[in-house]
Chain A
Amino acid sequence: MVDSYQVIVIGGGITGAGIARDCAMRGLKTLLLEKNDFSSGTTGTCMGMLHGGRRYAVKDPEITKLSCDESGIIQSIAPHLIFRIPWLIPIHQDDPKPLEKYQEILDRYDELGRAKNSPPHIFLSPAETCEIEPSITVPIKGAFTRDEPGVNVFRLVLANIHSAIEVGATALNHHKTIAIIKEGKRITGVIAEDTITGEKKEFRAEIVVNAAGPWTPTITEMAGVEFKLRPTRGIHIIFDRRLTATAVSCASVSLLPHESTTICGLTDEFFPYPPDDARSRPDEVEYLLASVETTIPSIRGARIIRTMAGVRPIIDQPGKDERDLSRDYQVFDHEERDGVKGFVTIAGGKMVIYRKMAEDLSNLVCEKLNHPVPCQTADIPLYGGDYSGSLEEKAHHLSKQYDLPLHTTLRLTSRHGSRAGDVLKILETAPAQASNICECEPVTEAEIRYSIQHEWARTLDDLRRRTRMGTGPCQACHCTAGATQILSEERSLSLEQSFHEMDQFLQERWKGRFPVLRGVQVKQEELIRAVYQAQDEWE
């Protein structure tokens, strides 16, 4: 039997997840297909900022205004996933640009960004700057402030999927679209392969939505349609802890405290290769460090734990430089464009405007299906975002109720919001599941099991995205074995399959570590190998 839907969305990044929620909320029978894991592509490598993009404030004010408006909406529908990022823009003593020029851009940014709920910028004297951020030790005229909201993007994607499923959608990760079914000039479905079991499945739909990000051309090609992107690759380096009190703009890169780490990025380089091959190069790491060093000279002594690389699905604008390409998005109706019915593509855009992108795309889908139901995604809270009172109170309460460290419940509520209690319910009958599997974060056994049972985590890397397991300074030294054993139990894996999962995860984590392995982290690497390699065998 073939499963039939009204809409199939290909791509489980933030755009696809947003579209699945929007369509499902309008009452359409919707299927979301993701070839790897939700938010494992471009979305998972973004900086997690719900900002307007100060650098677009003058040259692309419409995108800035839209971004700020959307930022305000996400803050209201997913308050549990939001954190504040205070920011400094130090102006070097020898900067030839007059302060008024900066002032002008920031005034404009404040004006466009009212909906973002951020306080307007102020100018700090060198002494005031030093008080807030003592690591800025170079001569400066002072620093402008800005204030941006940040978001846990992995959880934002999951919240969208949870919400979609609550209103009847189906979501399948590790389902790679391998063919588009075409009958004459009409697309009628897709064939997807479960990449874990190898099983191939056919799904039918009235409309297939291509939201595959940088993989968009791969999907259009399957539909016999030509489509070109101008993909650019960006890399980040990640430090072991929060190095600074605020985010700091250093030359043209940013140093950004994020959760329990610090992220430094980003770069922008044309990348006409398969998106899966994106890696960080040593010269790019050096470029980022050298940029930060102009403002924070002590950065070289900090402990880098890994790098990450992602590819942006930017729409091609011939003749323009990478940094000048618009971050605007576009919805393509292939019936109009190429005479292929039942097939639409969305490309370009930024994480912060995903909801609006999904709304526009879903409007087109509804129009085509003659299904006039308006969008509701801006007004109804996302999964976990439906609570009153403060998250801190909730965390205190859970900490008392289950005798857990407050740190554990604070981190848990920041991921699960109003649903945090669901994760811990199991402790009433199995108190030992309060043990931490990941020490750096911390992540309890209860949360790992919950993620597998209720959040479609099928691999260790899926668990990492949902819980932040393995992302801290020990880089999965202590959690990998424990999490493998739980996954093995929950998914009834054989011993071979269990160790295969473990090897995959170790390889995936190593990919981000080895380009920057040095200093204290080399000791950590020896430890990881003592645990996972040292003369052990399992055949």
Chain B
Amino acid sequence: MTKVGIPRGLLFYRYFPLWETFFEALGIEVVVSAPTSEETIRKGSKLLPGDLCLPVKIYFGHIESLREKVDFLFVPRYISIEPDAYMCPKLIGLPDMVLSTIDSLPPLIDFSIHCKAEGTKAEELFYLQAGKIFSKNKERVGKAYWMGMERQSRFRTFLQRGFFFEEALELSRSSDIPERQNEDGKIKLGIIGRPYYTHDPFLRRSIVEQVEGKGYHLLTTEVLSDQDIERGIEKLRKKIYWSFGKELVGSAIGFAQNGSIQGLINLASFGCGQDSFNFEMIQFTIKEKIPILSLIFDEHLSAVGFSTRIEAFLEMIARGVGQR
């Protein structure tokens, strides 16, 4: 059976259910690289210039460990997923970067999704192109895409109910939708970051353990609906033209407006160009309403480094809540 490799990095944490269902419906075996580890980061850092951000390095580490085991590598080029916003330049140049740094690669599946140029049909077009490699039957490809979309929307529902990636992925395989157990009594904190931060178990591990261990409940950006996010950024002087930027800023403001959280934890990469601006926007709009803790990741990350800061932050929040 033909094997398609999907590196466990970057947009994997957003679109994997769709990708998996799509390829499996076409009768292709999907091979995913092992979960992120120190080894992944080491491999990736060796391949790339030092100033690139950690998620890209992790992605390259995953490709490195995957490339010999598969017949095709799935490295899509996400240029824009909405008509008026771009993705990160590094995602736009991703397949080209992969091709110029790693030798002896299997063929890449590297078509583009460009909604800004092609309209809302772009995503469907992308999957039709990708499916063409494996099946001449257009109907079958179309059907595979719709099955993928169905699974993806189920997956989104679970994220919206507050599950993290792994649980949501597991649950989206079956058709029933359980409620998450009630967390009403707990103090809620927002965790703002790109999906490849908040949903990569290796990166968020220490933070989530510590925060939830202390009896707090964490909400990711996906908990808010698209309307909430749109409402959040509506008042900005200029619309944000990055999809993730919109999501981060919009959800931070959304959280602040609906008053559901007591504090905000912001996860970002060292040297992330977009987040430097997004975080500035968040600070400008809500810093007087909600305490914010910003954690910056690089490849030298250690779990203990953050724990003191998180502890201090949690204590501050506990005191704030007690005073009220």
Q: Is B one of A's binding partners?
A: no
Q: Write the residues of chain A forming the contact surface with B, with a CB cutoff of 8 angstroms.
A: none
